[in-house]
């Protein structure tokens, strides 16, 4: 069984490499056929407007919404999971009850790294943020980590959202946590 990485745009190869390091087969998903038999799906960072368009063009939107496997969205992928995107009518899958604001750390801090705490992963973690969204509100999900008072890692049912980029580090713990959702 394999875990898919949505491969329409964004940092696809990095996520696939993380899965493979954890001993999990990774499959790049470009169309409906690729979803068959998957046990989980990662939606990478990139540009959420573009990715949303491509998802719909390939007919993947309804299939992903209707699937029962766990989904992990990072950065733009997290935006796609959110039910509400502040200030825009932009398309999203809306699988998680939360509101995000895109690019909300501003120009000064387009990209940065921060030491954060993820208690569920044993504590300290160095998170990489790139034009990251800010999660403004979480309706029901469990907040697993925060940075400066805002959630940055949230789980709700079968979905996991991170505003940072765990695939750009050597630390496998966030992907390992997701694979725990897949295998659980």
The burial of 96, by beta-carbon neighbours within 10 Å (0-12 exposed, 13-18 middle, 19 or more buried), is given as: buried
Binding ligand GLN (rule: CB under 6 A), the pick from 79, 81, 128, 152 is 79
Active-site position among 15, 75, 159, 175: 75
Active-site position among 15, 101, 159, 167: 167
Known catalytic membership, residue 15: no
Name the residue among 158, 157, 104, 153 with its Cα closest to residue 132: 104
Known catalytic membership, residue 165: yes
Sign of CA dihedral 66, 54, 74, 32: positive
Site residues (CB under 6 A) for ligand GLN, limited to 31-70:
45-48
Name the residue among 97, 94, 98, 103 with its Cα closest to residue 75: 103
Of 2 and 104, the one with the shorter C-beta distance to ligand GLN is: 104
Known catalytic membership, residue 75: yes
DSSP, residue by residue, 143-166: EEEEETTEEEEEEETTEEEESS-G
Of 48 and 150, the one with the shorter C-beta distance to ligand GLN is: 48
Report how many residues bind ligand GLN under the rule CB under 6 A: 12
Of 79 and 118, the one with the shorter C-beta distance to ligand GLN is: 79
CA distance 103 to 134: 7
Binding ligand GLN (rule: CB under 6 A), the pick from 131, 136, 158, 173 is 131
Active-site position among 15, 159, 165, 175: 165
Three-state DSSP class for residue 75: coil
95, 135 contact by CB (below 8 A): no
Q: Decide: is 103 part of the binding site for ligand GLN (CB under 6 A).
A: yes
Active site residues: 75, 165, 167
Residues that bind ligand GLN (CB under 6 A): 45-48, 75-76, 79, 102-103, 130-131, 133
């Amino acid at each position: 069984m394999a875990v898919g990485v949505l491969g329409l745009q964004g940092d696809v190869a990095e996520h696939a490499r993380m899965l493979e390091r954890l001993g999990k087969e990774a499959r790049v998903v470009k169309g409906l056929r690729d979803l068959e038999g998957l046990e989980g799906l990662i939606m990478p960072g990139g540009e959420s407007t573009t990715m949303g368009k491509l998802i719909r063009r390939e007919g993947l939107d309804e299939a992903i919404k209707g699937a029962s496997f766990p989904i992990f969205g990072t950065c733009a992928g997290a935006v796609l999971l959110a039910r509400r995107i502040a200030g825009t009518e932009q398309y999203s899958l809306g699988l998680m009850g939360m509101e995000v604001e895109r690019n909300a750390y501003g120009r000064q801090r387009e990209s940065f790294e921060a030491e954060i705490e993820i208690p569920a992963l044993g504590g300290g973690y160095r998170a990489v943020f790139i034009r990251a969204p800010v999660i403004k509100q979480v309706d029901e999900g469990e907040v697993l980590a925060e940075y400066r008072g805002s959630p940055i890692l949230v789980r709700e049912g079968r979905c996991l959202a991170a505003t940072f980029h765990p695939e750009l580090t050597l630390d496998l713990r966030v992907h390992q946590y997701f694979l725990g959702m897949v295998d659980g």
